[in-house]
Amino acid sequence: MKKPYFKEVKDAPKPLNTIVKTVTRFEEIDAMGIAWHGRFASYFEDARVSLGEKFKIGYFDLFDNGILAPLKKIHIDFKTPIFFREEISIECILHYTQASKILTEYIIKKQDNTIAATGYVIQMLLNPDYELFLTQPKYYKNFCEMWKKGEI
């Protein structure tokens, strides 16, 4: 069993997730004939945007409520290559935290369900002056409370 990317939080709600599918394009392939490693951050982002739209915590939802969410850390574990015109699915899994940050985990699978890559992203929550919120900002705190109550 793989080691989890994030520590389990006692009494945390079940993680939220979404899956997007895409087919690799020629521009994403490197000289070795496989998906370029730098493209994986974009694959993660495609799934993160989908999750944000699905649960109303997308970039504009946060921005309209005075919250910026830049990346603090990105980590990718490559498992097996992805090739040109290969259909892949990217799962984004949002993990609960009481901290002023967003924790997302990613699983990229090939059409045969083989895992091509896994990873995670940590985003910090900042105010419009680029200062870290010391506690969760109201909009995100309300979202987390609804999530914990099972209303999301």
CATH superfamily of the domain spanning 16-148: Hotdog Thioesterase (3.10.129.10)
Buried b / exposed e along 62-99 (16+ C-beta atoms within 10 A): beeeebbbeeeebebeeeeebeeebebbbbbbbbbbee
Sheet of strand 87-95, all strands in order from the earlier edge strand to the far edge = 16-23, 87-95, 101-110, 115-124, 71-78
Per residue in 27-39, pLDDT tens? 999 999 999 999 9
Task: Note the pTM of the prediction, 2 decimals.
Answer: 0.95
Residue 15 has pLDDT above 80, yes or no: yes
Confidence of residue 3 (pLDDT cuts 50, 70, 90): confident
Nearest of 23, 31, 102 to residue 69 by alpha carbon: 102
What is the Cα–Cα distance from 38 to 26, expressed in whole angstroms?
14
CB within 8 A of 67, min separation 6: which ones? 125, 126, 127, 133, 137, 139, 140
Tokens encoding 79: 């498992």
Pair of tokens at residue 65: 């409520």
- When the pLDDT of each residue in the chain is averaged and rounded to a whole number, the result is 96
Query: What is the per-residue pLDDT across 50-95, written as a single tens digit (0 to 9) for each?
Result: 999 999 999 999 999 999 999 999 999 999 999 999 999 999 999 9
